Structure 1
Amino acid sequence: MTTNTLDWTGAWNGRLTQKDAQRHTDRCEKLSTHLFEEIDGNRLPFINLPYREELEKGLLEHSPWLQSFDHMLLLGIGGSALGTRALQRAFFPEQDMPNHTGKRLWISDNVDAGTFEEWLTRLPAEKTVVVVISKSGGTIETIAQYFVVREWLKTHLGDAWTDHIMLITDAHNGYLRDEVNRLGVRSMPVPDNLGGRYSVLSAVGLVPAAFMGIDWKGLLDGAMSVGESLCKRGCSERSLLAHPSWKIASWAKTLMEEDYNILLFFTYIPTWASFGDWFAQLWAESLGKDGKGSTPLPAKGVTDQHSTQQLYLGGPRDKGCLYLTCPTQPEGMTFADDLPEKWSYLRGEKFGTLLQAETLGSRMALGQTHTPLVEIRVGEATEVEAGRLIALLEIATVLTGWLLEINPLNQPHVELGKRLANARLGASGYDEESKELDNFLGREPDIQEF
């Protein structure tokens, strides 16, 4: 049986030293008590998954209905979409293969009027299920898409349009919950205290997973196995100190203290590359507060060895790196024996050995240029291992936030742009934002053509 490991051999590199590994140990006892209290109070539901039984019941109930459609159009943004895209790319890659004729997931996670209209022109409404995701039920981009899609469904399906839609939102409040109650359409809840960036292993990510036939139970099993030791009433300082998420958090906090202000997330599992985008939101939205945090930067191996890695190796020494690998990826086809002499060393080798060589070479290069690096090695690229990875990074993010003495579960500055956008659209209740807009738009322009 393969195992998952964290390789810390190159973690204390550059301005970090091995003694830094113990820098934050004195805070562990207090944080372990706080962690258990938060888990016990269901304020960190992505760790102990208290909603799992209800979630599984709902997924089993709705799966035959979901499977009856050929297309799923998902309306959601940020945490309502990034995790789902990562799951699709990792475990339903056939959608992106030539001549694919099976199910397809379409994720509308932006305000792109041209593409959105084109999708609605081309999608067969009678074979399409629409899933609308907003925890608050009031995300303007998603609600605007819902208004358009609702009319599209009515036009093509008449009164049957409500049989082609599911709303995933708060269990009790918000506009989408009101729509569920008014229309009687299918719905699943986003659990309390589960923010979007922590929600991939809820209905938010697992309804699309069920549609695609992904092993969603494996994802849940993997996640729970990582958080299990932290959920026991006897959870102590020793339990937390031994947990890999604590070590990542302590290392990440030390990086920031030593002016490593960028955290690379370098993925050397090609089908898992989109987990880098998911992690970027998780880390940035959780930790970027009060002038604190570090900038997450997704990178894809080996693609970025030929682009941005020049900066990583030759640029400022301001980066730490989480390096995601898997030793059991497909080996692929065998090189022929008649290759030119210059490439004779490839004769009889498997195509996949190139990826393993590049993985090692890039890691060594980062080490030799004094980049602190932790290798996250998953034994197999399966749903269970993905669930473990998701839980590991979510818990590490929360602990890092607490070490920074900020709240890793809110996102106050994200709301500012939303309020200004609502004021620009003419929504009521935004008098102060309207004044700010008038001042902004009234500035003397300084424009140059190019």
Structure 2
Amino acid sequence: MITLTTENLEKIAAEHGLAAGDIEKGSALIPGYLKNIESKNQGFYKVIDDPTLIEKINSFAVNTAGKFDHFVVLGIGGSALGTIALQQGLTHLFAPSKLHVLDNIDPVIIKEIQDAIDLKRTLFIVVTKSGTTPETISQYMYFRNLCQNSDLKVSDHFLFITDPDQGLLRKIATEEGILTFEVPENVGGRFSVLTAVSLLPARLINLKIENIMAGAKNMRTAFLSENPNENLPFRLASIQYLLYNKGKTINVMMPYAQKLIRFTDWYRQLLAESIGKNGVGITPVNALGATDQHSQSQLWNDGPNDKLHIFIKVEKPAVDANIPNLHPQEESLKYLNNVSFNKLLLTEMEGTAQSLTKNDRPNIEIAIDKINEETLGGLFMLFESTTSFLGEFFGVNAFNQPGVELSKQITKKLLS
């Protein structure tokens, strides 16, 4: 269950907030916006209907069980961030993991991963739709060279997730018999979390990918609804757009759950790369509650009033514990007596929200009942579909990235 609470927008000065009914005023736009999104032939909300994808992933996972001690994902941006979000959100943060995501070309980190794995017991999952992403291809060539120098058969230790028909990796896979999974032609990298890009690595560490898809399907139902009270993605996009026009050009996503902080990294790319075009765009900032109350709260309350805060809270964490009453004689500690950690955490969130509200700083709350595969699937679909609506509001193509291509061209020229 994912819910949106917007009441604090009505409690602040009109120049910074929204009045009751402001969101509903734009509800007549929903049918046309949905038609426009459909006309762009984007598959991010359709790929979840492909039953063969889950079957192929499950079959591969069963057939490889016990063969590998390490799975190393080589990818960057949308080819890695969703996988990292799933891993952090749904696995033990401090336990050893079989899954390592190498999402940068920092040579120190590359060497540390190399030191942590046994090549003979490692599967490298190379993820790039184009097949030519320089960071990913350089990683691939480095680790392939290590395997070849160790007399390991490349097709036994590499798997490609790439374009179904074209590109360098598709060519190599065809020539050398390397197993591949597809990034659908009509799904861009930053929208690919609900494809094999992230579902395959998730399944290899025993996450329930069927439940991820179920959560995504539930949210898609809301996305396709023409009823503004049911269409949560449209409501959220409306808030972001209306407040952008009141000078709130920065969105701070702040989960009060440490296991969701890498989800905000995924969203940061999605929002920035999709909407930042033609001189418009929302700047995404991620923060962690309660940690960043102690690093950014002064700015939020007393600095420029140019931000919308999006809080995320978890109603029922997987575990909770009470704070013991060890110093009953200390009056200054009585407010903590037998309070649970989650109650303290969420009370601090409420205190932060109330403080912002009193200072006329707009803030909203997204609540989930728990962190599991279904809710994460729902959150991925919520923000992908919200972003597609934002593209319509801003009049930009949410599915291309022309500004990224120039830097790639310059990089190649400099290296040449």
Give TM-score scaled by structure 2 length: 0.93
Report the count of equivalent residues.
Answer: 409
Q: Which position in structure 2 is the counterpart of 1:125?
A: 119
1:151-183 deviation digits (Å, cap 9, x = unpaired): 111122x24332111100001100001111011
Q: Secondary structure at the match of 1:166?
A: strand
Q: Paired residue for 2:241, among 246, 253, 258?
A: 253
Distance 1:181 1:146 in 2: 17
Cα deviation, residue 289, structure 1:
0.0
Structure 1 position 308 matched with structure 2 position 296: yes
Aligned twin of 2:158: 165
The residue correspondences of 1:26-105 to structure 2 (distance < 5 A) are 26-38=28-40, 43-49=41-47, 52-68=50-66, 69-92=68-91, 94=92, 96-97=93-94, 100-101=95-96, 103-105=97-99
The aligned amino acid for 1:252 is Q
Distance in 1, matches of 2:220 and 2:342, equals 33
Contact preservation (8 Å) 2:223, 2:234 = no
Shift of 1:124: 0.7
Q: Distance in 2 between matches of 1:247 and 1:279?
A: 17
Deviation sequence 1:122-170 (CA, Å, 0-9, x none): 42111211100000111011001111110111122x2433211110000
Equivalents in 1 of 2:220, 2:228: separation in Å?
Answer: 11
Which string of whole-angstrom CA distances, capped at 9 and with x for unpartnered residues, describes residues 219-276 of structure 1? 1110011113555xxx6xx346641111111111111111111011111122111111
Taking a change above 3 Å as real, the CA distance of residues 278 and 264 of structure 1, as seen in their structure-2 partners, is same
> Match for 1:396 among 376, 381, 386?
386
Is this contact kept in 2: 1:313–1:365, CA < 8 A?
yes
Distance in 2 separating the partners of 1:49 and 1:181:
24
- Matched residue, 2:274: 286
Instruction: Identify the residue that residue 106 of structure 2 maps to in structure 1.
Output: 112
Task: Provide the rounded CA distance (Å) in 2 between the counterparts of 1:129 and 1:313.
Answer: 48
Aligned to 1:181: 174
In structure 2, runs of 5+ residues without a counterpart are none
The counterpart of 1:206, out of the listed 199, 207, 210, is 199
Cα separation, 2, equivalents of 1:137 and 1:332: 45
**Are 1:348 and 2:338 an aligned pair?**
yes
Shift of residue 279 of structure 1?
0.7
| CA shift for structure 1 position 49 | 2.2
Q: Report the Cα offset of residue 22 of structure 1.
A: 4.1
Give 2:357's match in structure 1, choosing from 367, 370, 375: 367
Native 8 Å contact 1:32 1:240 kept in 2: no
Distance 1:278 1:67 in 2: 29
Structure 2 counterparts to residues 210-225 of structure 1, below 5 A: 210-225=203-218
1:320 match: secondary structure: strand
8 A Cα contact 1:220 1:387, kept in partner: yes
Report the equivalent of 1:137. Answer: 131
Moved more, 21-30 or 362-371: 21-30
Give me the whole-angstrom Cα distance separating, in 1, the residues matched to 2:382 and 2:190.
14
Q: Is the 8 A contact 2:318 2:370 kept in 1?
A: no
Structure 1 unaligned blocks of 5 or more: 427-450
